[in-house]
Amino acid sequence: QGGNNAGHTVVVDGKEYDFHLFPSGIINPKAISFIVLILFDRNYVQTVQEMSVRSSLKDWEKRLIISDRAHIVFDFHQAVDGLQEVQRQAQEGKNIGTTKKGIGPTYSSKAARTGLRICDLLSDFDEFSSRFKNLAQQYKSMFPTLEIDIEGQLKKLKGYAEKIRPMVRDGVYFMYEALHGSPKKILVEGANAALLDIDFGTYPFVTSSNCTVGGVCTGLGVPPQHVGDVYGVVKAYTTRVGIGAFPTEQINEIGDLLQSRGHEWGVTTGRKRRCGWLDLVILKYAHMINGFTALALTKLDILDVLDEIKIGVAYKLGGKRIPYFP
């Protein structure tokens, strides 16, 4: 699991959980959960502690491991995410529709080699503080209206460091032991969808990570030969949060019905999801990239009240049917 930009509603024994940072497996008392990619700093410890009280999760901190290589999303990353959306709207008349959780700016810092990781936070705090101040100043120079309480942030971060220290492990060695020690079942949970992949999604209306199957190798440091079954999860209709191309979208009573019957709200943003008929072209495209060994088809019952359902079967470009996703 990674950033809190994605939400997962999980129902177990009739009890509903809304997760953002926690891997869904945290509910299972026999499972060890592992956060590997992006860790969110804003009131992180308080948030998860409140969450455990609210959802009566017992001993979650004993079952949660955080990779030392996970990048940290700072408060100013989140603020910049919002400012960038305002800029896009002003300059282009449209934005990307991010969740404004700071994920894009954090990945930008990561790619620019100015990002800070959990291992930095837990080692030399003076060195961490110096790099944090440099990164904050970089963003302040790019966004003059940005206000950052540098000393206040560092004080909070020092507190977080001690609270999460017992959970942090060398992520690569942890996975190596899991793969080569006594036999285990390893389930990798993908946040976001294939069409939100930074390289293979509907760019630029995508997230910042590889949320296709390749992310298993790049995110966890797992060699490709260890990837076994790949389960594609697909609704019996198509949904999308935010803007971007959506050929089978139904901006009518059908779309409204799918939205209301399917409870299609973004877990993170509360935004209504756009709804339309199942699009087999993007499903086949997702299969081309991921090589599904099985599909889990969900929400079929939402269509129960319809006498007739439609399915998108092909795309035309310039009047001709095309065999690929353009």
The distance between the two most distant Cα atoms of the chain, rounded to a whole number of Å, is: 66
Q: Among 30, 62, 110, 156, which one carries the catalytic annotation?
A: 110
* 256 CB-near residues (< 8 Å, 6+ apart): none
Tokens in use for 36? Answer: 């590997």
Check if the beta carbon of residue 219 is closer than 8 Å to that of residue 2: yes
Q: What is the torsion angle, in degrees rounded to the nearest 10, for the CA atoms of residue 198, residue 199, residue 200 and residue 205? A: 40
Per-residue pLDDT of the chain (326 residues; tens, 9 = 90+): 556 656 677 888 888 887 777 788 888 899 999 988 776 655 555 566 655 655 677 888 889 899 999 999 898 998 888 888 777 777 777 666 666 778 889 989 999 999 999 999 999 999 999 999 999 999 999 988 899 999 999 999 998 898 889 999 999 999 999 999 999 999 998 778 899 899 999 998 888 889 899 999 998 999 999 999 999 999 999 999 878 889 999 999 999 999 999 999 876 667 789 999 999 999 999 999 999 999 999 999 999 999 999 999 999 999 999 999 99
The correct CATH number of 72-166 out of 1.10.300.10, 2.30.30.30, 3.40.50.720, 2.40.50.100 is: 1.10.300.10
Position 49 scores a pLDDT of 60
Contacts made by residues 211-220, CB under 8 angstroms, sequence distance 24+: 212/286, 212/289, 212/290, 213/289, 213/290, 213/291, 215/190, 216/188, 219/2, 219/36, 219/37, 220/36, 220/171, 220/175, 220/188
Check if the beta carbon of residue 89 is closer than 8 Å to that of residue 95: yes
Domain ranges (residues) in the chain:
8-66+169-187, 72-166, 229-322
> Cα–Cα distance between 114 and 189 in angstroms, integer?
28
Position 2 scores a pLDDT of 53
Please count the helices (runs of H) and the strands (runs of E) in the chain.
10, 14
The total of other beta-carbon atoms located within 10 Å of residue 14's CB is 5
> Cα–Cα distance between 228 and 225 in angstroms, integer?
8
Position 190 scores a pLDDT of 78
Name the residue type at position 167.
Answer: M
> Cα–Cα distance between 174 and 128 in angstroms, integer?
24
- Give the tens place of pLDDT for each residue, 168-217: 999 999 999 999 999 999 999 877 889 989 999 999 888 888 989 999 99
At 234 the three-state DSSP class reads: strand
Position 43 scores a pLDDT of 55
Query: H/E/C letters for each residue in 113-148?
Result: CCCCEHHHHHCCHHHHHHHHHHHHHHHHHHCCCCCC
- Give the tens place of pLDDT for each residue, 46-77: 566 655 655 677 888 889 899 999 999 898 99
Position 320 scores a pLDDT of 97
What CATH homologous superfamily does 229-322 map to?
Adenylosuccinate Synthetase, subunit A, domain 3 (3.90.170.10)
Position 17 scores a pLDDT of 80
Position 243 scores a pLDDT of 80
Residue 54, CB-side half-sphere exposure with 13 Å CA sphere: 10
> Cα–Cα distance between 4 and 106 in angstroms, integer?
12
> Cα–Cα distance between 275 and 97 in angstroms, integer?
16
Position 207 scores a pLDDT of 85
Would you call 110 a catalytic residue per the annotation? yes
